[in-house]
């Protein structure tokens, strides 16, 4: 009976989603209460943009098999990607109630708790995950990021260095290491690590922005402007980067261009009143305050 299901799984794992879709549906027509098929078809539905259908299918699988830890965990993943973080946490905890040493569920729980700014809980979940999977660079990297959130940069350095020992080409870990050095005031080391991250992953827009911020602090405004522009080539409409680019241009004395980017980022720029208290400039509007 499971041969057609195995075919569906093979299509799914090879990325042939339409073929997998048809195969799962055909299998479930004759086997409507098969927990594995319901679970996997639920995951596929989410991948194909039908997340609500996916949730219902996985819930049906769990109603048939409540101890299905992987289904609980994947349900949590869907909720997390949809931004339903409380529901994601509940699903991960349900998985862990069945399999307490489920490292992947602990890691995903820790990530979700960090997104909710529950940093101490996040740290505990992530530390349990790396205790179970010691050669897990993503877990050590995430611990480093949470330790930065908790303003414990020296400890963050150790976790990030462990991540990079386990995976020397880990761009995100280099980026977090750069931010940690910046927290500690070692701007030169921050620049070096941001550059290593970008060499590995040129599409890391936030890293380009962080590099630009650090270069600005060091007084290298032209290099900073170049890095802001590289960030915007990846994320053209990022308002914060546009605003920071405007500041850098103003620091260089390019007032017209700098104000243009700041206005694009924030919509309205208030310059305040002049020394005679007669004029206030807001965006492109100049009005005489004495007319009020």
Residue with the two structure tokens 């546009």: 242
**Residue 268's pLDDT band (cuts 50, 70, 90):** low
DSSP string, the chain: --HHHHHHHHHHHTT-HHHHHHHHHHHHHH-TT-HHHHHHHHHHHHHTT-HHHHHHHHHHHHHH-TT-HHHHHHHHHHHHHHT-HHHHHHHHHHHHHH-TT-HHHHHHHHHHHHHTT-HHHHHHHHHHHHHH-TT-HHHHHHHHHHHHHTT-HHHHHHHHHHHHHH-TT-HHHHHHHHHHHHHTT-HHHHHHHHHHHHHH-TT-HHHHHHHHHHHHHTT-HHHHHHHHHHHHHHSTT-HHHHHHHHHHHHHTT-HHHHHHHHHHHHS--EEEE-TTS-EEEETTEEEEGGG-
Choose between 262 and 66: higher pLDDT. 66
Q: What is the C-alpha to C-alpha distance for residues 22 and 138, in angstroms, rounded to an integer?
A: 35
Could you read off the pLDDT of 208-253 as tens digits, one per residue?
999 999 999 999 999 999 999 999 999 998 999 998 998 888 888 8
> What would the CATH number be for the domain defined by 209-292?
1.25.40.10
The pLDDT of residue 287 is: 37
* Mean pLDDT rounded to a whole number for the chain: 91
**Residue 276's pLDDT band (cuts 50, 70, 90):** very low
The pLDDT of residue 2 is: 57
Q: Give the rounded percent of residues in the chain with a pLDDT score beyond 90.
A: 81
Q: What is the C-alpha to C-alpha distance for residues 8 and 6, in angstroms, rounded to an integer?
A: 5
Could you read off the pLDDT of 17-39 as tens digits, one per residue?
999 999 999 999 999 999 999 99
Average pLDDT score over residue span 256-276: 68
The pLDDT of residue 175 is: 98
Q: Give the rounded percent of residues in the chain with a pLDDT score beyond 70.
A: 90
Could you read off the pLDDT of 74-83 as tens digits, one per residue?
999 999 999 9
The pLDDT of residue 152 is: 97
> 139: which 2 tokens?
């877990």
The pLDDT of residue 271 is: 52
Closest CA to 125 of 92, 76, 78, 159: 92
Q: Is 264 exposed, middle or buried (CB count within 10 Å of its CB: 0-12, 13-18, 19+)? A: middle
Is 42 within 8 Å of 61 (Cβ atoms)?
yes
> 43: which 2 tokens?
């995951």
Domain residue spans of the chain: 3-208, 209-292
Choose between 47 and 285: higher pLDDT. 47
Q: Which CATH architecture has domain 3-208?
A: Alpha Horseshoe (1.25)
The pLDDT of residue 285 is: 35
Q: Residue 175's Cα: distance from chain center in Å?
A: 13
Q: What is the C-alpha to C-alpha distance for residues 250 and 282, in angstroms, rounded to an integer?
A: 17
> 17: which 2 tokens?
């989603």
Q: What is the C-alpha to C-alpha distance for residues 196 and 168, in angstroms, rounded to an integer?
A: 11
Q: What is the C-alpha to C-alpha distance for residues 120 and 150, in angstroms, rounded to an integer?
A: 8
Least confident residue range of 112-116, 134-138, 239-243, 276-280: 276-280
Could you read off the pLDDT of 157-187 as tens digits, one per residue?
999 999 999 999 999 999 999 999 999 999 9
Answer yes or no: same fold for 3-208 and 209-292: yes
Could you read off the pLDDT of 90-103 as tens digits, one per residue?
999 999 999 999 99
**Residue 286's pLDDT band (cuts 50, 70, 90):** very low
Q: What is the C-alpha to C-alpha distance for residues 256 and 249, in angstroms, rounded to an integer?
A: 9
The pLDDT of residue 254 is: 85
Residue 135 has pLDDT above 90, yes or no: yes
């Amino acid at each position: 009976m499971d041969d057609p299901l195995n075919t569906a799984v093979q299509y799914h794992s090879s990325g042939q989603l339409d073929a997998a879709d048809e195969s799962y549906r055909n299998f479930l027509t004759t086997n409507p209460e098969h927990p594995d098929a319901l679970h996997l078809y639920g995951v596929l539905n989410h991948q194909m943009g039908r997340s609500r259908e996916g949730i219902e299918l996985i819930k049906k699988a769990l109603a048939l098999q409540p101890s299905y830890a992987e289904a609980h965990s994947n349900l949590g993943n869907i909720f997390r990607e949809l931004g339903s973080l409380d529901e994601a946490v509940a699903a991960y905890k349900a998985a862990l109630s069945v399999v307490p040493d489920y490292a992947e569920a602990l890691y995903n729980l820790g990530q979700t708790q960090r997104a909710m700014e529950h940093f101490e809980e996040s740290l505990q979940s992530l530390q349990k995950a790396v205790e179970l999977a010691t050669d897990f660079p993503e877990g050590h990297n995430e611990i480093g990021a949470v330790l930065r959130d908790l303003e414990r940069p020296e400890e963050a350095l150790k976790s990030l260095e462990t991540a990079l020992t386990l995976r020397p080409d880990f761009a995100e870990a280099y980026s977090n290491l750069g931010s940690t050095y910046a927290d500690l005031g070692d701007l030169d080391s921050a620049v070096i690590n941001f550059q290593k991250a970008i060499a590995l992953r040129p599409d890391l827009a936030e890293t380009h922005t962080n590099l630009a911020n650090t270069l600005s602090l060091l007084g290298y405004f032209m290099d900073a402007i170049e890095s802001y522009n590289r960030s915007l080539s990846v994320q053209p409409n990022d308002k914060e980067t546009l605003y920071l680019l405007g500041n850098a241009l103003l620091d260089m004395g390019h007032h017209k261009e700098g104000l243009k980017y700041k206005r694009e980022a924030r919509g309205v720029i208030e310059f305040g009143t002049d020394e005679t208290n007669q004029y206030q400039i807001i965006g492109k509007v100049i009005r005489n305050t004495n007319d009020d």
